[in-house]
Amino acid sequence: MARDFGTTWWGQAWLDALEGIAGGSGGRLARGRRWAKANRGADLHIEPGGVNAWVQADRDEPHEVHVGIRAFRDDEWDTVLDAIASKAAHAAALLDGELDPAVVRDAEAVEVDLLPRPRDLHTVCTCADDVEPCEHAAAACYLLADALDADPFVLLLLRGRRRDEVLDQVRRRRGGLPAIDEAEEAAPPPAPEGIDAAEAWSRDLLPLPLVPLVAHAPSRPAAWPSDPPAHAPFDGSGLRALVADAARRAWELCAGTVDTGLELDERADLARRVIGAPPALKQRLAEHSGVAPVDLDVLGAAWQFGGAAGVRAHDEPRWNPPPLDMARARDLLIEAGMPARRVHVSGNRVTGEGRLQLRRSRDGRWYLFTKATGRWAMAAPPEDDVDDLLDHDLTS
């Protein structure tokens, strides 16, 4: 089934505002819709007053996009909250994931537009296109419409108030209940009872249930309208990245296509996450791991060609395999056309002309490395026999 956007009336109102600022530029909107349907948007971060995202078009570098929407003043929020609290049905509908049109009409009656108008929106993108919106910003707007369809609280968040704030104020208006005490709100909740994580991971896994139908791609995490509390040991962006990663692993398990590596060590898991990561996520991985971005790329190459074993082979310190094995590898490089004086053996590594290297790992496999950005990076899948590495172009 084709993916659609604006399936709710408030989601469609968002798209109407997008078309309003686009004027007659239907081509950019069509391209943006195509990128959104192809899941070319990543790291969609919704916050009061706008959304940030990375969007990649065909054969193009990802571009950072900001879509801004005017946040309400306090007096405008009083009007909206009064409209929601005026009838029990309004509040109940909102809790059920629906936005009652009467709420919008009541707010409009006193000149407060809950739904965006074209004048409320503006977009900024790092691409060279100087029109508004560009195709990348249009893609972000379609993805945001998807989030709005899933949760009307996203609209309230864009206008400046988070879900818990809105519900607290509605409760006060409907029942005369006091607002949540600030000190009480700031205190961390008591930790739920549970079991030690190591004990949970060590349990024997039960057989997975049969999955009759697997989607063609992993699902995208639904947007939530508020960030984790201030005392949480993670931020909203990091949590979204973990949820997206978990969804992809679950999809891979169901599809039965790859080993998701749930027992990876920290180093191998870092290498796995680098593959396909947008620039913003890669930068965060570098900051939190203490590994430079260029070294992350090298680790990612090791994972791409060799998985966890490839990462171990990359990190493995020099050791001394049987001399005859290393002599054979040296002869291969000389036979490939490298001058004998420029081929050197050091431990488990045979280096040719300072630009190509054959490595023997402790698991008995051979790996091909080339020099990139001043670092040795894995350049091909491993082989059991060093002769088979000749299938790759060693002299290019």
Per-residue model confidence as pLDDT tens digits over 283-296: 888 888 899 999 99
Inter-residue contact 46 to 154 (CB < 8 Å): yes
Question: Quick one: pLDDT at residue 214?
Answer: 62
Domain count across the chain = 3
Burial class (CB in 10 A: 0-12, 13-18, 19+), 257: exposed
Q: Tell me if 210 is assigned to some domain.
A: no
Question: Quick one: pLDDT at residue 172?
Answer: 82
Task: Specify the higher pLDDT residue, 203 or 386.
Answer: 386
Q: Tell me if 49 is assigned to some domain.
A: yes
Q: Based on the domain organization, do 69 and 138 belong to the same domain?
A: yes
Q: Based on the domain organization, do 103 and 139 belong to the same domain?
A: yes
Residue with structure tokens 């990462």?
311
Instruction: Tell me if residue 111 falls in helix, strand or coil.
Output: coil
CA dist., res. 320 & res. 92, Å (int): 71
Average pLDDT over residues 236-253: 75
CA dist., res. 163 & res. 269, Å (int): 34
Q: Based on the domain organization, do 62 and 164 belong to the same domain?
A: yes
Per residue in 98-123, pLDDT (tens digit) is: 777 777 777 777 777 877 777 777 88
Enumerate residues 6+ apart whose C-beta is below 8 A from 256: none
Q: Based on the domain organization, do 143 and 262 belong to the same domain?
A: no
Average pLDDT over residues 204-226: 63
CA dist., res. 360 & res. 354, Å (int): 17
The two tokens of residue 361 are: 């790992």
Identify the band that residue 161 occupies on the pLDDT scale cut at 50, 70 and 90: confident
Identify the band that residue 378 occupies on the pLDDT scale cut at 50, 70 and 90: very high
Most confident of 81-95, 135-149, 184-198: 135-149
Tally: H helices and E strands in the chain: 15, 9
Domain membership of residue 382 as a residue range: 316-391
Q: Tell me if 242 is assigned to some domain.
A: yes
Q: Is the peptide bond before 192 cis (omega within 30 degrees of 0)?
A: no
Q: Based on the domain organization, do 56 and 157 belong to the same domain?
A: yes
Q: Based on the domain organization, do 40 and 138 belong to the same domain?
A: yes
The two tokens of residue 142 are: 């379609």
Identify the band that residue 185 occupies on the pLDDT scale cut at 50, 70 and 90: very low
Q: Based on the domain organization, do 120 and 63 belong to the same domain?
A: yes
Q: Based on the domain organization, do 58 and 169 belong to the same domain?
A: yes
* pTM of model > 0.85: no
Q: Based on the domain organization, do 60 and 156 belong to the same domain?
A: yes
Instruction: Tell me if residue 265 falls in helix, strand or coil.
Output: coil
Q: Which of 152, 180, 208 is the last residue of a domain?
A: 180
CA diameter of the chain? 88
Question: Quick one: pLDDT at residue 183?
Answer: 41
CA gyration radius, the chain = 27
Q: Based on the domain organization, do 78 and 167 belong to the same domain?
A: yes
What does the mean pLDDT of the chain come to?
A: 78
Q: Tell me if 189 is assigned to some domain.
A: no
Question: Quick one: pLDDT at residue 254?
Answer: 73
Q: Is the pLDDT of residue 180 over 50?
A: no
Q: Tell me if 218 is assigned to some domain.
A: no
Inter-residue contact 347 to 330 (CB < 8 Å): no
Q: Which of 250, 274, 304 is the last residue of a domain?
A: 304
Q: Based on the domain organization, do 118 and 254 belong to the same domain?
A: no
Q: Is the pLDDT of residue 352 over 80?
A: yes
Q: Tell me if 214 is assigned to some domain.
A: no
Q: Tell me if 229 is assigned to some domain.
A: no
Instruction: Tell me if residue 214 falls in helix, strand or coil.
Output: coil
Enumerate residues 6+ apart whose C-beta is below 8 A from 74: none
Q: Based on the domain organization, do 258 and 320 belong to the same domain?
A: no
Q: Which of 180, 202, 223 is the last residue of a domain?
A: 180
Q: Tell me if 196 is assigned to some domain.
A: no
